[in-house]
Structure 1
Amino acid sequence: MKIFKVKRFLLSILSLFALSVASAQNPLITNQFTADPSARVFGDSIYIYPSHDILANKVRGRMGWFCMEDYHVFSSANLTDWKDHGVIVTQNKVPWVKPDSYSMWAPDCVERNGKYYFYFPSTPKDTTLGRGFKIGVAVADQPTGPFIPQQKPIEGVNGIDPNVFIDKDGQAYIYWSQGNIYAAKLKDNMLELASKPVILQELPTKGLKEGPYLFERNGIYYLTYPHVENKTERLEYAIADNPLGPFKMTGVIMDETPGCWTNHHSILPFKKQWYLFYHANDLSPEFDKARSIRADSLSFNADGTIQKVTPTLRGVGITMANQKIQIDRYSEISSKGASIAFVDTLNKFDGWKLILDHDKAWAKYNNIDFGDGKLKHLKMRLRSINGGDIQIKISDQIKTEYINAKVVSGHDWVIVEVPLLGISKIEGIKNLTVSNLKNTSVEIDWMTFTN
């Protein structure tokens, strides 16, 4: 017992050293590949449990295919600043997992009676358990761990993409996919089945369907899932009046993402707004096995049907004006003369830049919090080979302020700082629009406001 406690203490210390903070729009995480986001609200924060894509090579994984060896957990209290709490489960520390399988696919996590249960699929090293994936559980006292994996996977569950739902009466259900979508009741210990698995009927029979995620709202049970209607997955849903159906196919949540044949998601309310968490391949546009998680707002019609979500770069959350505003994650952009590109094509984790190619090209970024109005300077990282002039408009429904800035000619990135002179105090939530005033090309990496 003492050795066990010391081990848990050391894991807690190591997780603190792994903690890092990222401020992002879409994608939410830009320093590593992430996919299959399972988002949960614990306390006053959202926690995301994604899978972790890495690039396969000759000694790890299968070249050209999905490669995943561990799981991180991320948290945020404002949907903008995300903390990486480090690795919580890894393939070579789970007793039943084949340690070189690189098959730690889409997970989920729920809380019950003060314990956190992390469900994950992988390939077993014991061939007597049968072929294919099994689903295991790791248990923790905190949403960030340390998580202790169970010795064996859940008996009677064969497949991938576990999702757990706890109904209002306290009954827990587990959902997963293996050709079809399956469901079963869980015992109170959250580690064993309390009923035989059933195939959820009345779902599409043509094309792959996987990644089930079930939630309840106003007495309606929504079974949501990715489905390949043509060649690429789109997010669909079916509804029922109980967690096991029968379900009625109802609609599409999100259309196919060009260039990324998978999608995987979760849906939940946070501070009176519903959100869809999903993934695309923003940081790896040429290779869709290296994905990145995203979030956008989701709304319902009066009859309970879901309004289709259109993916955005701006995403959700409010950006503080004294942080780096990534204008390339725009909320609106002009139809001509404005585009985005990677800052460094050899290191895509450096993110993107906004390119304004001629006069009248512009991009808008909404929901920036200027606080109590004490910020006195605008700072920007930009470049323009031939030099240029830009205008920054800061506005709300009441007033608009304008800031003009010159960009010196050159091939190198420069930091330009402009004092906020001759304008009234800027405070509260504003929108920002940057426009090109000259018929030259200007590139903008980021901008921020300082005292």
Structure 2
Amino acid sequence: MQPSSKSIIGMAKIKLRCWLSALAAVVITTANAQNPLITNQFTADPSARVFGDKVYVYPSHDIRAQPGHGRAGWFVMEDYHVFSSANLTDWTDHGVIVTQNKVPWVKPDSYSMWAPDCIYRNGKYYFYFPTTPKDTTVSKGFTIGVAVSDKPTGPFVPQPLPIKGVRGIDPNVFIDKDGQAYLYWSQQNIYAAKLKDNMLELASEPVTLGELPTQGLKEGPYLFERKGTYYLTYPHVANKTERLEYATSTSPLGPFTVKGVLMDESPTGCWTNHHSILAFKNQWYLFYHHNDLSPAFDKNRSIRLDSLFFEPDGRIRKVVPTLRGVGLTDAKQKIQLDRYSRLSNSGATIAFLDTANKFQGWKTVLASNLAWVQYNGVAFGKQALKTVTLRTMAPAGGTVQLRADGATGPLLAQVTVPKGGQWQEVKAPLSAFKPGIHAVVVASKTDTPVEIDWIRFE
């Protein structure tokens, strides 16, 4: 019997809905940001890796607790995303790669998908993640599982069981020059063990890396090698909140010698910090997190990125967190002045655009004729640009000047901002064009407040 035309149409509609649903599941979104790198969701615990010609970041994903969904006032995470960038400025969100209710061994309502890591070996990508098992005979606390993919962006297929013999959080994987892989994790202490070639099982009994500080919480190990020295880096609560410290060794399993602090406690009061370190295009970088988008609640965090440097003797120079971050910003894109390189001591402040929705980002407020903001690393290119557009608001009106390379540098434009209490885009001609890479200084020339969301050259 042939199906009727109505049934054919019905089946077609069902197929179309399924196709649209599948398409929606793989929608890729792009974020243009400095620090924090991602501004449309909370991200933490960034594990960054270079695969091919891009950097891929595997963070944990903080969400807010809701009735029946996580513990109020605590960390709540149910899935993982992966982000990629070829220039460390423009980040692409490839969507969810692993979620708690699709891993066979995970307690589906645990909301404890904490800090992960990912590594490439023999044509496969291995994604390591800690969480709570539903079978408490496997582990009464956290354990660590693995999901495997043919691509760095997934889809990742979770293994049916976690790694046997591992109890703890914050997995980190390191492959030495001889091909031996190691797994590091934390649970009051920091532990390490060799991995088998299949990257799914331990090849040795875990050892405690015992030369580290004995007082205060230690977690989040991340090991890398440079010029024959193995650097074990980790967050440590030496006072009230976590700071990033490091120790060195001539072996991946130690013994390690504590060398010092590579990042001080968060100036924003974020209780945790968690990080990774890599070299990309002849520069070393530190990925970490603060609570930029949630200053009143440090369980909702945001990942950041700053350059890292070594002293001639191999010591790590302490990294000072910045808002500007790294990378170049195309002059033809929206330049978020609130992620500034320098800010005047008088009359210039940064505030949220909307305190009820902090994902909207920030604005720069220039409240007097002494106020200015400087944003470094703007790439103007070679082709002459003719105008600048400001998204701005000035209840009493105002005037701002844009200069290149400092407050006394060449005048790029003078912009008159009309009086008004609503955001508007104001365009003005450029009086000069400077090809190449420059800092841009935006300064107020009136005593009435001018607010700026972004600027863009065309």
TM-score of the two chains, using structure 1 as the length reference: 0.95
Shift of 1:380: 0.6
2:193 aligned residue (163, 181, 184): 184
Does the Cα contact within 8 Å between 1:171 and 1:186 map onto a contact in 2?
yes
Residue in 2 that maps onto 1:6: none
Q: Which amino acid aligns with 1:232?
A: T
Q: Which amino acid aligns with 1:222?
A: Y
Residue in 1 that maps onto 2:437: 429
Matched, 1:248 2:257: yes
Does the Cα contact within 8 Å between 1:91 and 1:99 map onto a contact in 2?
yes
Matched, 1:221 2:230: yes
Matched, 1:377 2:377: no
2:73 aligned residue (48, 64, 89): 64
Q: 1:400 to 1:364 in 2, by over 3 A?
A: same
Q: How many residues align?
A: 440
Question: How does 1:5-404 map onto structure 2 within 5 Å?
Answer: 14=23, 17-257=26-266, 258-395=268-405, 400-404=410-414
Taking the aligned partners of 1:63 and 1:15, their CA distance within structure 2 comes to: 30
Shift of 1:12: 12
Does the Cα contact within 8 Å between 1:15 and 1:87 map onto a contact in 2?
no
Q: Which amino acid aligns with 2:284?
A: W
Taking the aligned partners of 1:393 and 1:408, their CA distance within structure 2 comes to: 21
Shift of 1:430: 1.2
Taking the aligned partners of 2:20 and 2:178, their CA distance within structure 1 comes to: 35
Shift of 1:13: 5.9
- Per-residue Cα deviation, 1:350-391 (whole angstroms, up to 9, x for no partner): 000001111121110011111123321100101111111111
Q: Which amino acid aligns with 2:181?
A: A
SS of 1:349's equivalent in the other structure is: helix
Q: Which amino acid aligns with 1:123?
A: T
Task: Point out the more displaced range, 149-158 or 411-420.
Answer: 411-420
Q: Which amino acid aligns with 2:291?
A: N
SS of 1:111's equivalent in the other structure is: strand
Task: Point out the more displaced range, 310-319 or 365-374.
Answer: 365-374
Does the Cα contact within 8 Å between 1:373 and 1:426 map onto a contact in 2?
no
Shift of 1:92: 0.3
Task: Point out the more displaced range, 382-391 or 79-88.
Answer: 382-391
Q: 1:434 to 1:55 in 2, by over 3 A?
A: same
Q: Which amino acid aligns with 2:93?
A: D
SS of 2:422's equivalent in the other structure is: coil
Residue in 1 that maps onto 2:11: none
Residue in 2 that maps onto 1:5: none
Does the Cα contact within 8 Å between 1:15 and 1:86 map onto a contact in 2?
no
Unaligned runs of 5+ in 2: 1-18
- Higher Rg: 2
What value does the CA root-mean-square deviation take over the aligned residues? Answer: 1.8
- Per-residue Cα deviation, 1:246-266 (whole angstroms, up to 9, x for no partner): 000001010001320000000
Shift of 1:399: 6.7
- Per-residue Cα deviation, 1:262-288 (whole angstroms, up to 9, x for no partner): 000000000000000000000000000
Q: Which runs of 4+ in 1 moved over 3 A?
A: 10-17
Shift of 1:407: 1.2
Does the Cα contact within 8 Å between 2:401 and 2:411 map onto a contact in 1?
no
- Per-residue Cα deviation, 1:154-201 (whole angstroms, up to 9, x for no partner): 000000000000000000000000000000000000000000000001
- Per-residue Cα deviation, 1:98-137 (whole angstroms, up to 9, x for no partner): 0000000000000001100000000000121131001000
Does the Cα contact within 8 Å between 1:225 and 1:235 map onto a contact in 2?
yes
Unaligned runs of 5+ in 1: 1-9
- Per-residue Cα deviation, 1:298-346 (whole angstroms, up to 9, x for no partner): 0000000000000000001100011100000000111111110000111
Taking the aligned partners of 1:94 and 1:374, their CA distance within structure 2 comes to: 54
Taking the aligned partners of 2:28 and 2:161, their CA distance within structure 1 comes to: 29
SS of 2:333's equivalent in the other structure is: coil
